[in-house]
Structure 1
């Protein structure tokens, strides 16, 4: 099996520009789920509102015959501690800091 390299990440300012140009909230949500969480159109078509837990900021992806997948919708906004993100997503500290700086451009929350 041949592996392909991961696509390059879209810089936050370009993603914001894209989302601002889209006509309605549903389209913006779909683009964000695809761009940020890599949820394709097939997966998105099968999402139900009952899969969303807004109090925890989580979306559960139900996949028949496979384990459920939990998407953390905005973990960087709920935590300004990069170690939380490193542990949760198994990412590098530098990547965690980019998430924190994007989510909190004016500095960490009080």
Structure 2
């Protein structure tokens, strides 16, 4: 589970709440897609090979450990697997994964936004890839390319 969550943060820049609330039905391995929700919005992630492999490995492990779990969430723990209310994994369980590896998930997420911003000067690209707002896309583009932005292109 930890590997899959770290991949979703480090490669796809997903946040804790988004990850904790992913449902099994949100994952479509046949089409290579994963739907995540933030607020009332939905964002579709196109899965790369690594993400598909680690999510598949996690599904195998999930079903090996808790074959009779009816919890609808993709990520479950021993505490949530058989809870009849079907809760998502706790924030504590999520944070424990990152305590073991070191970097904070928010730092990994920011680094991923910035890494992609270094590769492009297109705010629309960042908005599509990560499902972020125009203001957030511009913040990262201005950090990655400080010289060309004298005026915010979204305000021109």
- State if a TM-score over 0.5 links the two structures: no
Please tell me whether Structure 1 or Structure 2 has the larger radius of gyration of its CA atoms.
Answer: 2
**TM interval, short-chain normalised:** 0.3 to 0.5
User: Normalising to structure 2: TM-score of the pair?
Assistant: 0.30
Higher RCO by CA contacts (8 Å cutoff, separation 6 or greater):
2
